[in-house]
Amino acid sequence: DGGLDAWTGPLERGAPETRAVAHEAEPWPDHFLAGADDVNQHLADGGLVVDARAAERYRGEFEPVDPRPGHIPGAVNLPFTDLLRDGSLRSDVRDILEERGIDSTTIAYCGSGVSACLEVLAAESVGLGRPRLYIGSWSGWSSEPSRPAALGDEQ
């Protein structure tokens, strides 16, 4: 949330003293992840799917990575950068997310499943619950030719 430049506390210099700890990392629980079939069903049920990519990528005007431009039909666009100001979450991030209807029932995606994590964690951090992450995101969706793609602001 701002990185080292935003840190106001004291800083230590030199190598830190370390000690071994026993810790077993756990993967993100499956019930917080969604696949393409989950996204289709969620949209069919009237659920909210949010695309965290830049508006130009959402509209299909610019696609630097994936095989097809556009977005998942029915998804709305909220670029993850809209939640940031000067490298930190905006003070009104809860208002932004609530205005869009984002809560624990939402599925979020981006290009590859990284940027959407900011929207997932932002929602959780302001008490709106943890949306699910479509882990395949646009890269996974667009790589399957049978899946539809929408262009422009079409939902």
- Specify the pTM: 0.84
pLDDT at 89 > cutoff 90:
yes
77 within 8 A of 71, measured Cβ to Cβ = yes
| Structure tokens, 70 | 């556009």
72 within 8 A of 96, measured Cβ to Cβ = no
Q: Which residues are catalytic?
A: 110
Task: Please state the rounded mean pLDDT for residues 93-100.
Answer: 97
Q: Phi-psi bin for 56: left (phi > 0), alpha (psi -120 to 50), beta?
A: alpha
Whole-number Cα distances in Å, 106 to 16, 35, 115: 41, 13, 15
What is the CA 121 to chain-centroid distance, rounded? 8
Query: What is the tens place of the pLDDT at every residue in 125-144?
Result: 999 999 999 999 999 999 99
Query: What is the tens place of the pLDDT at every residue in 24-50?
Result: 888 889 999 999 999 999 999 999 999
- Which stretches of the chain are assigned E, i.e. beta strand? 33-34, 49-51, 76-77, 84-85, 88-89, 107-109, 132-134
pLDDT of 1: 66
CATH number at 30-142: 3.40.250.10
Helix 116-125 × helix 93-100 angle, to 10°: 110
Task: Please state the rounded mean pLDDT for residues 60-76.
Answer: 96
Task: Please state the rounded mean pLDDT for residues 72-85.
Answer: 97
pLDDT of 43: 97
Query: What is the tens place of the pLDDT at every residue in 114-129?
Result: 999 999 999 999 999 9
